[in-house]
Structure 1
Amino acid sequence: MALYTPEYQPTGEEIAVINTSKGAIRVQLAGADAPIHVGNFVELAQKGFYDGLKFHRYVPGFVIQGGCPNTREATPEQVAAGRAAGFAPFGTGNPGYSIKEEYTTNPNNKHEDGALAMARSMDPNSAGSQFYLCLGPQHNLDSGYTVFGQTIEGKDVIGQLRAGDVIESVTIENAAA
């Protein structure tokens, strides 16, 4: 799959507001540390890519993961069950491209509680749209997955999220025009 370079150039001031069926989460994006990931996330959010997707993976004490387009047409109950007839497997979708990893260049690539990072397959350069929020520190992931933001409000909301919960929208505050 072709590697995509976002046109959006982060300023470092961007804050993602992830509105979920359980409440809002505000994340300070790390544009200086992971400009490709932040630029990609901002572009996808501004296109409405995440609107209506569901969180498809919940591992207690580890992560809550969303951003798979295969969940768009599925009901929350189908996503919570993990599979649904007629749907591509949840957790395997992407935006049609991948982005270059930045965990080897990000000086602050630390999976702290509430960190926002990109999921990927075995290929280091396979991240696209799927993201996860850490449920507690996960430093075993520091050397393999790119952190591109840190929750500043809504950790209580993150703690309530489960597979099947809806990403109602993702908006970006302070995005450059």
Structure 2
Amino acid sequence: MADTTLTLTLDTGDVVIKLRPDLAPNHVARITELAGEGFYDGVKFHRVIDGFMAQGGCPHGTGTGGSDKPDLAQEFNSEPHVRGTCSMARTMDPNSANSQFFICFGDAEFLDGQYTVWGQVTSGMEHVDALPKGEPPANPGVIQKAVVG
């Protein structure tokens, strides 16, 4: 499972993310499970801040929801939040990650050790860069399909 990837098909093309179960096994298992169930298919990137990150994974497209599965205990690790880093979104409670995640546009080391890094974009970062910006974007980018393979 060391080289397992998550492919997010966006309007502009595919984003391939190397999953890192060595860093966050429970978070990778959750994302794999949700992708396999089709949970992410059709979900919007509801919060896209230029130069910072693109957040998605809320079934309502608002940032207020998650899956019906229980929240995850944090798996903070020493992996830095740099361009292409994939990490879990959460509330103020460190153990509240569920289905929402974000992809860093640039370096965001101030997040290090406070959010669970679970993957790294290996190709297609230009498609993340092309996502419509906003909180929420007027016409948000959508995950057409999410496939683990």
Fold shared, TM-score > 0.5 on shorter chain:
yes
| Partner secondary structure for residue 60 of structure 2 | helix
Report deviation, 1:22.
2.0
Residues 134-172 of structure 1, C-alpha deviation per residue, up to 9 Å, x if partnerless? 011110001210110001001111110123111001101
Report deviation, 1:12.
2.1
Question: Where do residues 64-83 of structure 1 align in structure 2 (5 Å cutoff)?
Answer: 64-71=54-61
Question: Where do residues 3-22 of structure 1 align in structure 2 (5 Å cutoff)?
Answer: 11-22=1-12
1:101 aligns with 2:91: no
The letter for the 2-side match of 1:95 is S
The letter for the 2-side match of 1:94 is G
Paired-residue identity, %: 40
Report deviation, 1:126.
0.3
Residue of structure 2 in register with 1:172 after alignment: 148
The equivalent position to 2:109 in structure 1, one of 133, 139, 153, is: 139
Runs of 5+ consecutive residues of structure 2 not aligned to the other structure: none
Q: Distance in 2 between matches of 1:32 and 1:13?
A: 11
* Bigger Cα Rg: 1
Q: Which runs of 4+ in 1 moved over 3 A?
A: none
Residues 42-93 of structure 1, C-alpha deviation per residue, up to 9 Å, x if partnerless? 000000000011110011100001000112xxxxxxxxxxxxxxxxxx1010
Residue of structure 2 in register with 1:77 after alignment: none
Contact 1:22 1:165 in 2 (8 A): no
Report deviation, 1:13.
2.0
TM-score, L = length of structure 1: 0.78
Q: Distance in 2 between matches of 1:149 and 1:53?
A: 19
| Partner secondary structure for residue 26 of structure 1 | strand
**What's the RMSD between the two structures over aligned residues?**
0.9
| Partner secondary structure for residue 86 of structure 2 | strand
The equivalent position to 2:121 in structure 1, one of 151, 161, 166, is: 151
Q: Distance in 1 between matches of 2:13 and 2:3?
A: 22
Runs of 5+ consecutive residues of structure 1 not aligned to the other structure: 1-10, 72-89
| Partner secondary structure for residue 117 of structure 1 | strand
| Partner secondary structure for residue 79 of structure 2 | coil
Q: Distance in 1 between matches of 2:46 and 2:37?
A: 21
TM-score, L = length of structure 2: 0.92
